[in-house]
Structure 1
């Protein structure tokens, strides 16, 4: 029987990912089978989880997914010894309006699975107030249980002692305290952490984090605080229709933001996936019946993409007879032009008229609910799709026929409608699930 634990914090940037990776690797090194999940729509962290555990990690999301889907995804932890769900943002942070079975908050997953929460607290600039914050999180929602706390970035032994005493007085277990340690900081860029596959030293970094955490945290006590857990009924599956039988998927440093559960669902439905690299000037497999360009960092590679004539001509030829769909960065590359951070405009594939600019930066972030006005690969007109949008590019022009009516999590209509022209479609949101 697995032991389940949620790792969360009062806010972003406190050290949830580093602690999750360190615990996972330390327990794996001791011979335990460790399974990780990511609560919420972050599509970067699961690749780090896989690097730490040697097992694929997926997202679970209470705003976009129903309970059956979450149960199906979590059931992959059946054969593990310990299962860790890393949270997003703060423990109770979600959207204002409820989605399919929650607001997207990490607390939703903790309560749904009945797993206790290990809090990461950064007491920088605080002492006893850190205990007040932890106690407030413990008591805020009756269905959410607190296992205890790991302190991160403590300034000195005296600082640690003050915070520990306050937490213990509040009846909150302290499993360890981590002093500041720059060597295990994960590099970041504008959409979050630099992706795991781009970091050649990622395994060494995780090993160092595991060693450091093992020195300062009582790993046995943390493990004992986890809940004994048997997965609920896995349900009937993910209810995801693949976009085609043979899917050509762009996959490299510029096109890498794909939710792992989507690819698994496509394969489980019998689809075959072949990958190609636009950065290596490769076109889609001519034997495929649909092409999918995911998001990533095309704004950092715009010059190379514009210069890769074989990729561009191959994609255009493909789109003459078969559907091509782009998400976020992929959508931008299907457009006519992309202006980079230096203000240089680069010609894209021109399958759509979309023009975007990374020089005029503005953050677009949040859940999206789209009702399709026309079909897109895998989904018919009228389908209600749930996804998440996160980018800094600005629309300069979006002249084609809108693909969908798109709302944010509050129900407000937004301008990023997606586009369609001929066989090409695109959206700024990354698809997570379809309402059934």
Structure 2
């Protein structure tokens, strides 16, 4: 013996009456009164009464589905509209927001009913659309109709991440992540690497097709540990299981860690004319430092090109010592996009002879027997020059 599969039966929701017009009725005119029993499975049988007496000359009309249809976008929807009774049987047609979708129907003479099946692919623009099925025959004073309002769930077509993803250590960055219209509105959360960021401000505003747009603004103070991490904006909806991410790499600039020189020790005397090699080293920083040599606060253009290595960067300055190098301060500055300058400097002590020697006579004209006054002028020297006089083989 084979068992039968039980059909799920659903009683109708609270029936309600819909009048053709809210205006007062006029004696002698005809009016249509519609009784609607929604959500029943199978369709409910409706009996209408007037002052306790059953009305027999009534038509029955059915459209499948609940009063409001909740649908996912891109789903194919099948809606059935049925009209019972009438002579002749009713013709049926479908409209959406007043525009005709279908004018095809079938008649079942035995069951005395007309039916029309509407198939449509739901799109975001169908959200809040009103579907209507109208039933009319040759003797109808006005069409009978039932409507269904569609609620369409749709995902945002776009998720956009805006802002600057480069910053100096210690600065605050402001970023914005927003979505196009969706129904329901999505949530937005932020991630830096595997850490969730919570300093956000979220606003939801009206969007296209009756949906909502979500905007989230993030403020974050960056550190050097953030450099190279992925900054992610995730738009998601648990109900529809929607998730979409936008990711950018965060670049954080920070200054060089250390600067030092390869130079002679302080208080070591060097001789003018000798060759001296000064080397500046810099380690750490993002990006690595740019090195500049200066002499007494003026840039030295003759320094060699900067060289990179595992330790960092270096730049050499090769000098042939001159008297002007005595007590001169040579400084090396290291800087990068973090805009902080680290420096190292050295002061040279150079020994050099008098840069010039000159004898000056105080008298322009002399006569025999007069006394001649002469001055010997020695230019700058280190240490100070000793002056002696010779006249032929005689030393004074």
TM > 0.5:
no
Larger RCO, structures 1/2 (Cα 8 Å, 6+ apart):
1
Structure number with the higher helix fraction is 1
TM-score (norm 1): 0.20
TM-score (norm 2): 0.21
> Which protein has the larger Cα radius of gyration, Structure 1 or Structure 2?
2
Structure number with the higher strand fraction is 2
